[in-house]
Amino acid sequence: MKFGIVVNEGPYTHQAADTAYKFTKAVLEKGHDVHRVFFYHDGVNVGTRMSVPPQDDRHIQRNWSELAEKYDLDMVICIAAAQRRGIMDENEAKRQGLDGDNIAPGFRISGLGQLIEAGVQSDRLVTFGD
Amino acid sequence: MSILHTISKSPFQNQSLSSCVAHASSGDAILMIEDAVYGAVSGTAAAAQLAEGENISIYALGPDLSARGLGEAKLAEGINIVDYDGFVELAVEYDKTQSWL
């Protein structure tokens, strides 16, 4: 079965970014497909590679990046939400005249159409966070 | 069309749980995750509301219960405990997943 995942809450806020990660991992380990993970609203903050949590804490961004690498996940960050919160890839940083980018491995920046498409293509769309 | 309703906020924090119970139809399921698992505790108003649902299966996420020190003995009757695998199975079993804010 094909799943779409939406993450609306930032990391280290309540629990949604953790729950979404554990759910997505369970989906993949059970042999289902994940069409896309869409990071929206504060959820885009998961996708910065500048996150440095204490060593004894879970590393939410790295967890997602490693999951993406292992399962070839498509992880999309909403461009409008990302620009407001300073999440940039190389192209966007250049276009905005900024001095650097911060997007983490495995993430890409794109538009809201990717969420709609994920809803159309997936058998189940599961949302985490408010 | 059966729906898996997920609730993530405590019933002591907002009205999601009672709104969800009011909207859920026969044959649906409600899964409490994160702080919403407090709604599974025996003797709470939320647990009583959940028990009123006709032909609605009630689940709570085990790891989130454990993280809050809520053992099975503290839960109301009729609450089924699932892990993340069980969460996935519920999402597969029901036609749609509705996440309550």
Q: What is the pLDDT of residues A45-70, one digit of tens each?
A: 999 999 999 999 999 999 999 999 99
Q: Where are the domains of chain B?
A: 3-100
Question: How far, in Å, CA of A49 to CA of A61, rounded?
Answer: 7
**Residue B30 pLDDT more than 90?**
yes
> Class for domain B3-100, per CATH?
alpha beta
Candidates A15, A22, A127; nearest CB to B99: A127
Percent of chain A predicted with pLDDT > 90: 99
pTM: 0.97
Instruction: Please state whether beta strands B96-100 and B3-7 pair in parallel, antiparallel, or not at all (unpaired).
Output: parallel
Question: How far, in Å, CA of B42 to CA of A88, rounded?
Answer: 47
Put the strands of the sheet holding B79-82 in their side by side order: B79-82, B57-61, B29-32, B3-7, B96-100
Walk me through the domains of chain A, giving residue ranges and CATH numbers: 2-128 (3.40.1260.10)
Q: Is the ipTM of this complex over 0.95?
A: yes
Residue B46 CA from chain centroid, whole number = 10
Which residues of chain B are at the A interface, by a Cβ-Cβ cutoff of 8 Å?
Answer: 6, 8-9, 33-35, 63-64, 84-85, 87-89, 91-92, 96-97, 99, 101
Catalytic residue annotation of A = 78
Instruction: Please state whether beta strands A75-78 and A33-39 pair in parallel, antiparallel, or not at all (unpaired).
Output: parallel
